[in-house]
């Protein structure tokens, strides 16, 4: 970036800010008449110059422009009007105390990291605040646009003044390409005013008194000689806080706009510190408040300003106007200044998306519009700071209401098979018959005070509809508050001992949330499961315990184990003679992938985990869990030569081993026995395929 580019950008932003600075200074002291306006304009240019230098030296965002602002001028002006000072000196002293206190508060805000809190203000609140400021500024300028002098209200409208104000307003809203809109509007409206005056048309008053350094010095001297204001301390402190909050939000909004435009992050607390020093600078030269401002900052950026030099050139424009251009300012009509300010603030108005438009998100658009209108109404009735608080509160209420939808994503029945446990055919049939008694509730999102009750109501409804076991799938839960955690404990009481929560392994989001609330230890014994398959497995065990009277007991002896496979007694004895009993401790690898497939096993007791070992590009994968009464390793009897998966004892295992070689000899010596054996293997495979198809059908449904 060249020095000329920086200078040009700074001068462009300075011209834009200068026209607004004129009207901002006028707002603060307009109640004191022409003399107050002249001092206010001089003080505003001095404050704008000092603010620009302070933010350039101590701020972080580039090129953040420090100058006077409409919102803070309105607050300061309202305080001066309410105090009804008898002299200009008293008004200036009050404004200096107000802005000085606000500047100190802003420095305090910067020290405690207020910028992080300001980022939490919802966008509809910011929009409503900006619209309210625009509306208040327009209302304050209407008397001037109608031809009244500052501090004089109720006068009849002057048509010529209204025309001058209208021309300035139109040129602000419809600027000519390449020309600074404020300067063009002031120049054209000023020329029109004087032409109408030469033609004998009444056009309203002009500034008349040049805002010069002498005017500024006289006003400051009067302030130092004036008595302390009689404004109640609590009211003065409230006004300081209001001014500090508004100025902080304006500075941070401008910094945020520069960040979005440039893509460069900056230290917002440094920006806020620079804005606080800018406010103190305004206090030192007459009490016109100042801060960072979005419009000239973005204008400087778009004109090529990227560094501190552009900011300092912008401040130099304010110094030039105060030191040199005072006589020209004295010629400006108040109606033209009113039109320029109204045009500037109208460009800041942001209308929310129409809630009347049909389509998705209509309720959200209606909520945003309600917040914007509420902030505007509160600002007009109670003040800007109250409006921000009311808007944030209403946004929270609307957000809570919108989020208070049920966190139950969906409810399905009969998740049998998702545990991947392979059971004997009789147990599989019993589970498929009774699996509808298992309700799987999938939860998602936040379970908090606004939505937790829906989970409890859904659980009660499922039990009323016949569910005897409830599984709460917590995998998609993102947040749980204290109310949500307590409701989950209540859900466990809907079906005591039969409500299962998963996944609840170490590090699971739902478990972490409950532990943070101190509620995890209050969950009932047996309710917590590491993952969803484990929860379904536990639910299946509960269903099987309910139907145990209709089932044969699990095999405990080798003979009973072979008989339970559906083999006739004449086949059991020859097979038993060719089997050997084996026992494996929990965790023992019984079969390993890639080993020779040389035998099949009949599981008599315990459980066996079938899995694929971890590979270079994938983790270990659980395929199935085998229950007693199941044959595994049966591929050895079907001609497969190597093992396709690992088989590991999940608990202490008791099984029968049948060597493949013994089966080959059996085909020769007792072909009918071998035929019964292979038919049994086929029946087991058919049972597994049928169970898998049933799970697939339920998932597709």
Name the least confident of 85-99, 644-658, 681-695: 681-695
User: Three-class SS string for 533-581?
Assistant: HHHHHHHHHHHHHHCHHHCCCCCCCHHHHHHHCCCCHHHHHHHHHCEEE
> What's the predicted TM-score (pTM) here?
0.59
How large is the average pLDDT for residues 277-296? 92
Dihedral sign, CA of 529, 533, 536, 538? negative
Name the least confident of 86-90, 157-161, 480-484, 645-649: 157-161
Query: What percent of the chain has pLDDT above 70?
Result: 92
More confident residue, 166 or 395: 166
> Which residues face 564 on adjacent strands?
none
* pLDDT > 90? residue 491: yes
Question: What pLDDT is stored for residue 259 in this prediction?
Answer: 83
Residue 82 to residue 74: CA distance in whole angstroms: 12
Tens-place pLDDT, residues 328-367: 888 888 888 888 878 877 876 777 777 777 666 677 778 8
Which range among 393-397, 445-449, 551-555 has the greatest average pLDDT?
A: 445-449
How large is the average pLDDT for residues 507-515? 93
Order across the sheet with 631-632: list the strands.
Answer: 579-584, 653-659, 599-605, 631-632
More confident residue, 691 or 639: 639
Answer for the pair 629, 424: CB distance below 8 angstroms, yes or no.
yes
Question: What pLDDT is stored for residue 139 in this prediction?
Answer: 82
How large is the average pLDDT for residues 37-65? 93
How large is the average pLDDT for residues 474-500? 92
Name the least confident of 112-116, 203-207, 696-700: 696-700
Report the helix count and the strand count for the chain, using DSSP H and E.
26, 15
More confident residue, 138 or 88: 88
For the record, the structure tokens of 360 come out as 């998705």
β pairing state of 579-584 and 631-632? unpaired
For the chain, the average pLDDT equals 85
* pLDDT > 60? residue 320: yes
Question: What pLDDT is stored for residue 54 in this prediction?
Answer: 95
The answer for residues whose C-beta is within 8 angstroms of residue 71's C-beta and 6 or more apart is: 129, 133, 246, 250, 384
For the record, the structure tokens of 354 come out as 């129409």
Name the least confident of 444-448, 613-617, 656-660: 613-617
Name the least confident of 122-131, 198-207, 659-668: 122-131
Tens-place pLDDT, residues 288-316: 999 998 878 887 888 888 889 999 999 99
Question: What pLDDT is stored for residue 549 in this prediction?
Answer: 46
The full DSSP string for 230-249 is ---HHHHHHHHHHHHHHHHH
Residue 565 to residue 685: CA distance in whole angstroms: 12
Residue 67 to residue 317: CA distance in whole angstroms: 11
* pLDDT > 50? residue 396: yes
Can you tell me whether residue 646 is helix, strand or coil?
strand
The answer for residues whose C-beta is within 8 angstroms of residue 571's C-beta and 6 or more apart is: 562, 672, 673, 676, 677
Tens-place pLDDT, residues 204-258: 888 777 888 999 999 999 999 998 888 888 888 888 988 898 899 889 888 887 8
Tens-place pLDDT, residues 266-276: 888 999 999 99
Question: What pLDDT is stored for residue 230 in this prediction?
Answer: 81
Where do the domains of the chain lie, and which CATH numbers do they carry? 3-350 (no CATH), 352-403 (no CATH), 410-550 (3.30.750.24), 558-700 (2.60.120.10)
């Amino acid at each position: 970036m060249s020095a000329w580019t920086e200078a040009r950008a700074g001068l462009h932003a300075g011209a834009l800010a200068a026209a607004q600075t004129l009207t901002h200074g006028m707002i603060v002291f307009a109640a004191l008449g022409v003399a107050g306006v002249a001092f206010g304009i001089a003080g505003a240019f001095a404050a704008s110059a000092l603010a620009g230098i302070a933010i350039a030296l101590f701020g972080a965002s580039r090129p953040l422009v420090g100058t006077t602002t409409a919102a803070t001028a309105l607050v300061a002006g309202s305080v001066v009007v309410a105090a009804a000072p008898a002299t200009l000196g008293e008004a200036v002293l009050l404004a200096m105390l107000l802005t000085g206190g606000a500047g100190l508060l802003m420095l305090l805000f910067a020290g405690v990291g207020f910028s992080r809190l300001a980022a939490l203000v919802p966008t509809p609140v910011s929009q409503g605040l900006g619209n309210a400021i625009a509306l208040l500024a327009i209302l304050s300028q209407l008397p001037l646009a109608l031809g009244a002098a500052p501090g004089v209200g109720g006068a009849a409208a002057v048509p010529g003044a209204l025309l001058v104000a209208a021309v300035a307003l139109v040129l602000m809203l419809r600027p000519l390409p390449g020309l600074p809109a404020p300067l063009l509007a002031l120049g054209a409206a000023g020329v029109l005013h004087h032409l109408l005056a030469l033609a004998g048309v009444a056009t309203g008053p002009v500034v008349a008194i040049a805002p010069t350094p002498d005017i500024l010095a006289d006003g400051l001297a009067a302030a130092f000689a004036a008595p302390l204001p009689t404004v109640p301390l609590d009211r003065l402190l409230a006004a300081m806080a209001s001014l500090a909050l508004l100025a902080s939000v304006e500075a941070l909004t401008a910094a945020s706009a520069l960040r979005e435009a440039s893509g460069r992050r900056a230290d917002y607390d440094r920006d806020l510190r620079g804005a606080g020093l800018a406010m103190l600078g305004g206090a030192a030269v007459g009490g016109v408040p100042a801060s960072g401002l979005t419009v000239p900052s973005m204008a400087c950026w778009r004109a090529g300003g990227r560094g501190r030099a552009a900011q300092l050139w912008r401040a130099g424009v304010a110094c030039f106007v105060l030191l040199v251009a005072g006589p020209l300012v004295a010629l400006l009509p108040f109606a033209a200044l009113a039109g320029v300010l109204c045009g500037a603030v109208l460009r800041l108005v942001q209308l929310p998306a129409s809630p009347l438009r049909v389509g998705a998100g209509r309720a959200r658009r209606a909520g945003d519009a309600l917040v914007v209108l509420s902030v505007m109404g509160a600002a007009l009735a109670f003040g800007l700071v109250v409006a921000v608080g009311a808007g944030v509160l209403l946004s929270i209420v609307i957000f809570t209401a919108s989020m208070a939808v049920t966190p139950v994503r969906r409810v399905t029945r009969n998740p049998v098979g998702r545990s991947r446990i392979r059971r004997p055919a009789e147990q599989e049939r019993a589970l498929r018959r009774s699996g509808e008694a298992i309700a799987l509730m999938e939860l998602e999102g936040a379970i908090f005070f606004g939505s937790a009750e829906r989970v409890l109501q859904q659980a009660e409804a499922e039990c009323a509809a016949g569910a005897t076991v409830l599984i709460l799938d917590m995998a998609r839960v993102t947040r749980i508050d204290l109310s949500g955690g307590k409701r989950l404990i209540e859900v466990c009481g809907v079906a005591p001992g039969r409500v299962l929560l998963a996944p609840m392994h170490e590090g699971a989001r739902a478990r972490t949330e409950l532990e943070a609330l101190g509620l995890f230890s209050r969950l009932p014994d047996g309710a917590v499961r590491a993952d969803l398959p484990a929860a379904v497995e536990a639910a299946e065990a509960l269903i099987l315990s309910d139907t145990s009277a209709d089932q044969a007991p699990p095999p405990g002896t080798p003979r009973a184990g072979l008989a339970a496979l559906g083999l006739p007694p004449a086949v059991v004895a020859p097979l038993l003679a060719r089997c050997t009993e084996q026992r494996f401790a929990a965790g023992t690898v019984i079969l390993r992938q890639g080993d020779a497939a040389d035998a099949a096993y009949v599981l008599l007791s315990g459980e066996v985990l079938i899995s694929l070992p971890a590979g270079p590009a994938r983790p270990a994968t659980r395929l199935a869990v085998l229950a007693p009464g199941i044959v595994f390793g049966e591929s050895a009897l079907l001609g497969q030569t190597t093992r396709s998966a690992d088989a590991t004892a999940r608990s202490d295992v008791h099984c029968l081993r049948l060597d493949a070689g013994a089966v080959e000899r059996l085909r020769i010596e007792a072909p009918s026995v071998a035929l019964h054996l292979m038919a049994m293997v086929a029946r087991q495979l058919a049972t597994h395929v049928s169970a898998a198809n049933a799970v697939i059908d339920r998932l597709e449904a």
